[in-house]
Copies of this chain bind each other. A is one copy, B any other.
Amino acid sequence: MTAQDTAARLEGVGHRLTAPRRAVLEAILAAPALFTVEDICAAAPGVGRATVFRTMKLLQEIDLVCRVPLEDGSVRYQFSQGDHHHHLVCSACGSIKEFIDPELDARILEDALTAGFHLDGHSLELYGRCAACDR
């Protein structure tokens, strides 16, 4: 996905296409899979921290970026493919792998029903060691 695509998506939702937002988008595309707001600030000098935060919030709303809460309570962000998925976080190398499992989601929905809950969403993070680190 290119910066143009993402930019277009912003406009589509009625948001202005500004230079700072472009800079943030490019920084995100150039960033490692998992990044922090700090990373983006560093990669997009001249863009204020507040704007980075504001832009990140926007991008989350359009599902271009997703928040990944780590085990220790800190937060990372990730460029997102948009569709619903879960994360496998490697505690050794820090890499994150996305995965989907419709059956798992179905089971979750079922559990919610059983409990009498009207489910709006859920978050699932798996913590462990990836294949490469687990030796």
Q: Which residues of A contact B (CB under 8 A)?
A: 67, 69, 71, 73, 75, 86, 88, 90-91, 97, 99, 101, 103-104, 107-108, 111-112, 114-131, 134
Asked, given contacts A118-B129, A124-B124, whether A73 binds B71 with beta carbons under 8 Å apart, the answer is no
Closest Cβ of chain B to A8, distance in Å, is 28
A121 touches B128 (CB 8 A): yes
Chain B: minimal CB distance from A85 (Å): 11
Q: Given known contacts A88-B112, A104-B111, A112-B126, what 5 new A-B pairs fall within 8 Å (CB)?
A: A103-B107, A117-B134, A119-B127, A119-B128, A122-B127
**Chain B residue nearest to A114 in the complex (CB):** B99
Q: Which residues of B sit under 8 angstroms from A97, Cβ to Cβ? A: 115, 117
Chain copies in the assembled complex: 2
Cβ–Cβ contact A118 & B134, under 8 A: yes
Smallest CB separation, A59 vs chain B (Å):
15
> Which 6 A-B residue pairings sit nearest by Cβ, starting from the closest?
A116-B131, A119-B128, A118-B134, A122-B126, A120-B128, A118-B129
Output the residue of A67, A119, A120 with the most chain B CB within 10 A: A120
Interchain CB contact under 8 A, B120 and A123: no
Distance, CA A14 to CA B38, complexed state (A): 39
